Amino acid sequence: MGPFTRVGCMRRFDGMWRAVADVGRDRRGGYARDAWSAADLELREWFRQEAGLRDLAVREDRNGNLWAWWGDPGSRPGVVTGSHLDSVRQGGAFDGPLGVVSAFAAIDALRERGVRPGRPLGVACFTDEEGARFGVPCVGSRLLTGVLDPARACGLTDDEGDTLADVLRAAGRSPQALGRDEETLRHVGVFVELHVEQGKGLVDEDAAVGVASAIRPHGRWRFDFRGRADHAGTTLLADRDDPMLPFARTVLLAREAAERHGVVATVGKVRVEPGSANAIPARVSAWLDARGPEESAVRALVAELTGAAGAEVECESWTPVVDFDAALRDRLAGALGGVPVLPTGAGHDAGVLASAGVPSAMVFVRNPTGISHSPEEYAEPGDCHAGVAALARVLEELCD
């Protein structure tokens, strides 16, 4: 990647990476960095400090997203890079933070080269991208762009029964402020998110970095199976109304139907009420995550499961296919010397911005095993540095 592999900015990347490595570790493995948790608040403070070290002006928008600016975004729409700092439960270290740390390191690389951007350059940290706590992904970018209703967002509830509004107030924020943010959106002329690849496309292509072509359609549905609580030891089988049975049948059907429809379906979260080992449950709630190359196939799977489950089904989030701006995609791939261009099945804030009409792109960094949303998630230091150099090159190209 030529001039951007100077040691200085890579040392600073390594230093920042070490600084966040222990924030929000889960003693069972991976990270617990729920939105607005102590770990998230600590990372938000880290973001402000790193921005301050670089004399970047930090703004928090009405939805809690952080923006660190080199130059005045009010002067003309800027070039923005960044990602998120929250994680899934027992998630990996790279999903999100790699994009934010690389953004700061890329600015260091530009400055080491004496580059003076011709337009404002921003680093964004979107809040609650994973939706691990309140169930809806990309809350910060969906509120920013107006695709998530503020009243619905305020009422989202975590497993402890706290609403997002409660949590925002406890964090000193105003739930009443949530909503589409025209001024902040005007500041974003183009957005580029660097992200660890969640798959092995770059491994197969033997490339350290790549550029995204599309995000496949995906959504989350909550299935509520209701039964009748009763004693596990005294209730005859014939007298039972056990919601665990239709739940189990639905999970097995989801896998079999996914194969038939050519999609992927996952039930990764289940809540059993009351959750006593010696009581037949009153209710089983299960969350289906379904994704695939074709929207129609995903919809067909969900319709089949809904028809067979005997449950109340609610769509909690839906993301249509995102085809990233082709001219921007090709310009970045070209600026990087012709790197692979590949789709992803993972959702990202870049996809939400693209769907809202903001020219957006993604740079992927090789993940040797492809594993993500797991403590096993990994990227080699050399590939992370290649990502920083690629991002710096892309930012220089866009800021010209």
Binding site for Mn ion (CB under 5 A): 95-96
Helix or strand holding residue 53 (H, E): helix 38-53
Partner whose footprint covers residue 96, from ligand HGY, Mn ion, none (CB < 5 to 8 Å by kind): Mn ion
Q: How near is the Cβ of 99 to Mn ion at its closest, in Å? A: 8
Q: Which is nearer to ligand HGY, 110 or 297 (CB)?
A: 297
Closest residue to bound Mn ion by CB: 95
Q: Which is nearer to ligand HGY, 115 or 342 (CB)?
A: 342
Q: Which residue's CB is nearer to Mn ion, number 176 or number 369?
A: 369
Each residue 324-363 as x (binds ligand HGY by CB under 6 A) or -, in order, gives ----------------------xx----------------
User: Is the distance from CB of 106 to CB of 1 less than 8 angstroms?
Assistant: no
Shortest distance (Å) from residue 155 CB to Mn ion: 24
Size of the site for ligand HGY (CB under 6 A): 5
Report in angstroms how near the CB of residue 137 gets to ligand HGY at its nearest: 5
- Smallest distance from Mn ion to CB 288, Å: 17
- Of 56 and 144, nearer to ligand HGY (C-beta) is 144
Number of H helices and E strands in the chain, helices first, is 13, 15
CA pair distance 69, 77, nearest whole angstrom: 12
- Largest separation between any pair of C-alpha atoms in the chain: 78
First and final CA of the chain: distance in angstroms?
18
Q: What torsion, rounded to 10 degrees, do the Cα atoms 145, 146, 147, 153 define?
A: 120
Burial of 363 (0-12, 13-18, 19+ CB in 10 A): buried
- Residue 239 CB, shortest distance to ligand HGY, in Å, is 41
Cα separation, 18 vs 40, in Å, equals 16
- If the CB atoms of residues 64 and 96 are measured against Mn ion, the closer one turns out to be 96
Nearer to ligand HGY (CB atom), residue 106 or residue 346: 346
* Binding span for ligand HGY by CB under 6 A among 28-36, 119-127, 129-137, 180-188: 129-137
The dihedral over CA atoms of 147, 63, 267, 303, expressed in degrees to the nearest 10, equals -10
Distance in Å, CB of 167 to ligand HGY, minimum: 19
What token pair was written down for 319? 């993301």
164, containing H or E segment: helix 164-170
* In the complex, least distance from residue 168 CB atom to Mn ion, rounded to whole angstroms: 22
Cβ-contact 8, 16 below 8 angstroms: no
Q: How far is CA 229 from CA 234, 239, 262, 269, 275, in A?
A: 12, 11, 37, 21, 10
CB nearer ligand HGY, residue 291 or residue 393 = 291
Find which of Mn ion, ligand HGY, none residue 64 binds, CB within 5 to 8 Å per kind. Answer: none
Cα 176 vs. chain centroid, distance in angstroms? 24
Interface positions, 245-284, toward ligand HGY (CB under 6 A)? none
CA distance 34 to 24: 9
Compute the half-sphere exposure of residue 80: CA atoms within 13 Å on the CB side of its CA: 31
Q: Say which entry of Mn ion, ligand HGY, none residue 137 contacts (CB below 5 to 8 A, set by partner kind).
A: ligand HGY
Q: 119 or 373: whose CB is closer to Mn ion? A: 373
Question: Which residues in the 159-218 window bind ligand HGY by CB under 6 A?
Answer: none
Among 137, 199, 340, 370, binds ligand HGY (CB under 6 A): 137
According to the binding rule CB under 6 A, does residue 128 interact with ligand HGY? no
Q: Binding residues for ligand HGY, per CB under 6 A?
A: 129-130, 137, 346-347
